Amino acid sequence: MSRKIGHITILVSDYDEAIDYYVNKLGFVLLTDNSFGEGMRWVTVAPSPECGTAIVFVEADNDEKKTRVGSQAAEHVFMVIETNDCLREYHIMKEKGVRFLGEPQEMPWGTEVIFEDLYGNRFDLLQVKRY
């Protein structure tokens, strides 16, 4: 049996602003943007085309979803984005206006720094220490 996580959902206020932020500030790749009429869209982004798991944007279209935009995991890190160069990515993203909650730190498991997306969801940018 072969299994994997294919997609993870993030609630957004607006598809186009989310695409712009994730692609132009975080350096993600837009994988799909398909319209199905009546405002329905299938929009996916990923850190790279070959990463295997994509983020699906779901536009918050009711009050319950709207209250959860930006708090996918409350105040905890929602997702870990692995990189092979945390410091380089940190500087590039910071220059583009990404809000970081500190500076990269050396930890026993690697170099990491937490950042927020345009809605306040927290992500961990991590360069895993290889032993």
Average of per-residue pLDDT values in the chain: 95
Q: What is the CATH number of domain 7-128?
A: 3.10.180.10
Percent of all residues in the chain with a pLDDT value above 90, rounded to a whole number: 85
How many residues are given for the chain? 131
Q: Please report which confidence band the pLDDT of residue 1 belongs to, taking 50, 70 and 90 as the band edges.
A: confident
> Does residue 39 carry a pLDDT above 80?
no
pLDDT-based confidence at residue 23 (cuts at 50, 70, 90): very high
Tell whether pTM > 0.85: yes
The predicted structure's pLDDT at residue 2: 84
Digit-coded pLDDT (tens) for 59-101: 999 999 999 999 988 889 999 999 999 999 999 999 999 999 9
Q: What pLDDT, on a 0 to 100 scale, did the predictor assign at position 43?
A: 98
3-class secondary-structure state, position 23: helix
Q: Could you tell me the maximum CA-CA distance found in the chain, to the nearest angstrom?
A: 51
Percent helix, percent strand, percent coil in the chain, to nearest 5? 20, 40, 40
Give the pLDDT mean for 20-44: 94
Identify the pLDDT of residue 68.
94
